[in-house]
Amino acid sequence: MTPFKASVVFIAALASAYPQSIPLQTTAPSDQSNNIRQYLTRVAGEITDQSLTGINTLNEWQDVRPQRYQEFIEMMGLLDVPLTGERPPLNVETVGTIQKNGYRIIKLYYESLPQLYVPANLYVPDNINGPAPAILYLCGHARTQKVHYQSHARRFAQLGFVCLIIETIQWGEVRGEHWGCYANGWFHWYSRGYTPGGVEVWNAIRGLDLLCQRPEVDGEKLGVTGISGGGAQTWFVAAADPRIKAAAPVCGASTLAAHILTRTIDGHCDCMVPINTYLRDFPDIGALIAPRPLLVCQADRDGLNTIESVREIVQKVKSIYDLYNMPDQITLVETPGGHSYHPLSRNRIFSFFMKHLQGKEVSYTEIDDSDFSEMVPFSEEELRVYIDGPPPDDRTKTIQDAFITLPDPPQITSISELNSFRGEVLTFLSTRTFGSFPREPEALDPRLEFRTWDGGKYGRTVYSYVSEKGWRLKADIRWQTPQDTKSPILIALRSPDEKRGASEEFVAEFAEPVTVVYLETRGVGEMGWAPELQWHVRRAAAWTGRTVASMRIYDLLRCIDFLKMLPGVDPDKIGIAARDEMTVVALYAALLNGGIHTVVIKNPPRTQNAPSSPDGRGETIELLNCLRMTDIYQIPALLFPMNMVFVGELPESYQWSIEIYQTLGRADAMTYK
């Protein structure tokens, strides 16, 4: 089977049986809510419920673990860094040392990738006899980073651990970007497959490399801990790097179901979750840590992570520890209060690492807490690494533009080369971009909502169909040909916030009298939601493995399946027309369907690698990971030899597709109006 035919088979699974006659709907249907919050809450709940299900023996887990690990690495955006094999030199630069009673603080920075520098403080106990266990401390989102969290690193040193505390790219001495989607409107990060959490994991892994190179450190006895963002990274780093022998995340995780239901997602930074390509949840990440010791600390009134959801995570992960017959290796410590440490969690962490890394059985009740008195902490200036600013070639502020390698468009000179590339794109998109498409589509359950002899030469009918569970959409058909004969049909996608009659005016620009179906997909017209909710929807959708654009593409594919069953529709002559952001929906749907006759687009975006509005409004054209393989301007070429109609001015980037049509001898299939 060719890749192109395989794509048709992939999409053909969306079709379902239709009744011979469609009854008139006389009452408002109650089976579909068309509510985006209810939908996102449901699909998030399904992901959480399915986490780690179907794994009942250790052999079953060990069989799937390698694949689960690779999926996790991919979702963290770590495919382009050398996790295995030779790594670039760290080029550690020591800039000063502070000697205290019982320990010293070495101020340094290292190069995790060429020109990507990480400022850090290394706490080293005095008079240690031989290599000692070490702790990697990962900072949360405190603005002063290693200064704010210094008491924890200091206490580890006092207890005999070497402790490396590293700064994030968000705060500290160099203010990079964690808040691309959260605050800047950089929703194209989703299209790039980029999460700032990936950079943090990589910087932490290189921090472990640094510790392993130190003569004071026993590289076989490494632990990791941190709170909030540092707590999330603790989960990630321990899952990613087997050198971690014990991990203690604090207030850093919640189930996806809880995040969406309570909207705690809205308070979280973009670094807190992977790109959810494979529809995973935190228990899936925690399972990768098993059976190594894991101490989960969680406040019971945390405004960002509900205690109930953390209990669920621990219980699910414990099921994997049980398979190893090591249930005592995972523990949950609950503390009172909001999003913070507590003396109990701190001392339990100290006792935990002393047991698993030092081999000492010391009760947490026998350990003094960290000293937070005003006379102890060093100032920001005293702990500063970059005395005269960071190295001039530092890439911290721009690493989001380079951490994921985006391919250049290929050179296509023959139909076989185009077919090969198309196959690669379809295979990639089916798993990395549209993996959230339902495996078993809902029955379309078509209904006749409205009929009149007005609105078209042969009347107007409005049908509804079930796109996906929770969504009943409408197809508004203006018949220009008899309904009992098979004729060409054009699906006109209405745009968000369009003026009344705008789609009708658009179609009139280019179409001869032809039957037109006006379709409102999710987020448009009756199927829309409040504009101020768009920011939440875009972030919540991505965390559930989909985007607004991908949901709309699915809606359109289901509409095509429905229309093909109507007696007045020629299934081989279905066209799609779209403007602005909806051109992304039209083009990708045409590619996935594989049987569209004509696509008409007006004012398509130049690229999907472009920022949006910080408040989440405006064009929603992001598709998970798509830029790792293709971009919107390449899709027309992948539709070859389909008829393409371009209305108005076309961005220069589309010249790539135009030239392919010309090279392959079908310039006549492209029309400009």
Rounded CA-CA distance 398/463 in Å is 49
Least confident of 451-455, 517-521, 543-547, 634-638: 451-455
**Residue 322 CB coordination number (10 Å):** 14
Q: Tokens 């890439």 correspond to what residue?
A: 395
Beta bridge partners of 156: none
Beta bridge partners of 490: 516, 575
pLDDT at res. 455: 86
Q: In angstroms, what is the C-alpha Rg of the chain? A: 28
pLDDT at res. 372: 77
Segment holding 238, helix H or strand E: helix 229-240
Confidence of residue 27 (pLDDT cuts 50, 70, 90): low
pLDDT at res. 8: 36
Confidence of residue 509 (pLDDT cuts 50, 70, 90): confident
Is the distance from CB of 528 to CB of 618 less than 8 angstroms? no
| Residue 76, C-beta contacts closer than 8 angstroms, at least 6 positions apart | 195, 197, 198, 201, 236, 240, 274, 275
| Residue 305, C-beta contacts closer than 8 angstroms, at least 6 positions apart | 251, 252, 253, 254, 258, 264, 298, 339
Report, as an integer, the average pLDDT of 60-74: 98
Number of H helices, E strands in the chain: 19, 18
Residue 12 has pLDDT above 80, yes or no: no
Q: Tokens 């398509």 correspond to what residue?
A: 604
Confidence of residue 28 (pLDDT cuts 50, 70, 90): low
- How distant, in Å, are the alpha carbons of 17, 190, 215, 217, 237 from that of 402? 47, 14, 33, 32, 21
Rounded CA-CA distance 342/404 in Å is 38
* Phi, psi dihedral angles at 534 (to 5 degrees): -60, -40
pLDDT at res. 9: 34
Output the pTM of the full model. 0.94
CATH superfamily of 60-401: Alpha/Beta hydrolase fold, catalytic domain (3.40.50.1820)
**pLDDT single digits (tens) 328-340:** 999 999 999 999 9
Mean pLDDT of the residues in the chain: 93
pLDDT at res. 287: 98
pLDDT at res. 371: 78
Is the distance from CB of 464 to CB of 25 less than 8 angstroms? yes
| Sequence ranges of the chain with CATH classification 3.40.50.1820 | 3-16+409-672, 60-401
pLDDT at res. 376: 75
Tell me the residue type at 187: F
**pLDDT single digits (tens) 294-328:** 999 999 999 999 999 999 999 999 999 999 999 99
pLDDT at res. 16: 35
Report, as an integer, the average pLDDT of 570-574: 96
Report, as an integer, the average pLDDT of 661-665: 96
Which CATH number is associated with domain 3-16+409-672?
3.40.50.1820
Segment holding 244, helix H or strand E: strand 244-250
**pLDDT single digits (tens) 151-184:** 999 999 999 999 999 999 999 999 999 999 999 9
pLDDT at res. 19: 37
| Residue 642, C-beta contacts closer than 8 angstroms, at least 6 positions apart | 590, 596, 597, 598, 599, 669
pLDDT at res. 1: 38
Segment holding 110, helix H or strand E: strand 103-113
pLDDT at res. 11: 36
Q: What is the 3-state secondary structure (H, E, C) of 353-396?
A: HHHHHHCCCCCHHHCCCCCCCCCCCCCHHHHCCCCCCCCCCCCH
- Sheet with 487-493, edge to edge strand ranges: 447-452, 460-468, 471-478, 515-519, 487-493, 569-579, 598-602, 643-647, 670-672
Is the distance from CB of 11 to CB of 592 less than 8 angstroms? yes
Query: What percent of the chain has pLDDT above 70?
Result: 95
Rounded CA-CA distance 21/9 in Å is 27
Distance of CA 258 to the CA centre of its chain: 17
Residue 205 has pLDDT above 50, yes or no: yes
- In sequence order, what DSSP letters do the residues of 183-227 get, joined into one string? II--THHHHHT--HHHHHHHHHHHHHHHHHHSTTEEEEEEEEEEE
- In sequence order, what DSSP letters do the residues of 435-449 get, joined into one string? TTS-SSPPP---EEE
**pLDDT single digits (tens) 238-281:** 999 999 999 999 999 999 999 999 999 999 999 999 999 999 99
Report, as an integer, the average pLDDT of 376-400: 94
Strands 217-227 and 244-250, sheet pairing: parallel
Tell me the residue type at 433: T
**pLDDT single digits (tens) 465-495:** 999 999 999 999 999 999 888 999 999 999 9
Query: What percent of the chain has pLDDT above 90?
Result: 90
Confidence of residue 29 (pLDDT cuts 50, 70, 90): low
**Residue 402 CB coordination number (10 Å):** 14
Query: Which among 38, 29, 36 has a CA at the least distance from the CA of 446?
Result: 29
- How distant, in Å, are the alpha carbons of 33, 270, 452, 638 from that of 435? 23, 21, 40, 20
Confidence of residue 513 (pLDDT cuts 50, 70, 90): confident
Confidence of residue 647 (pLDDT cuts 50, 70, 90): very high
